[in-house]
Amino acid sequence: MARKRFCYVVFVGKIPGIYESWIACSEQVTHFHGAAFKKYPSLEEANNAWTVYVEAHFNVQLLSPKLPELPTDYPPLLVPVQANMDDQTPSKLPKHCMYIAMLLVGVVIVILLLLVIMYIF
């Protein structure tokens, strides 16, 4: 039996928009205070919900209920993010890598401060 594919609309999150996988959606709402999102059974319903939200909250009227064709370098506010359902690997580094990088930056800052202090005195 084929898996039913859902679409997710991130109304408030890191990058609001329409996402076609829970992994992509969760990256936008995880650790984002006040995040607002909802699951829809089809891309059409997700697009309709997104259109209503944008028109109501930003005092604009979109010309078409269909997603516009935008250049690839345009910010992805109205462009659904394509995701491979088979790819279950998160795109972010693990937390321990981030902590190690922050520790290294802190050590470099301390060394620079010590060098400045030694130079002054």
Q: What is the pLDDT of residue 9?
A: 93
pLDDT of residue 3: 67
The pLDDT assigned to 37 comes to 93
Burial annotation 63-92 (CB, 10 A radius, 16+ → b, else e): eeeebeeeeeeeeeebbbbeeeeeeeeeee
pLDDT at 104: 87
Walk along the chain (121 residues) and give the pLDDT tens digit of each residue.
566 788 999 999 999 999 998 999 999 999 888 899 999 998 889 999 988 888 887 766 665 555 555 555 545 555 555 555 444 445 555 666 777 888 888 898 989 888 888 888 7
pTM of the shown model = 0.49
What phi and psi values does residue 60 have, to the nearest 5 degrees?
A: -130, 160
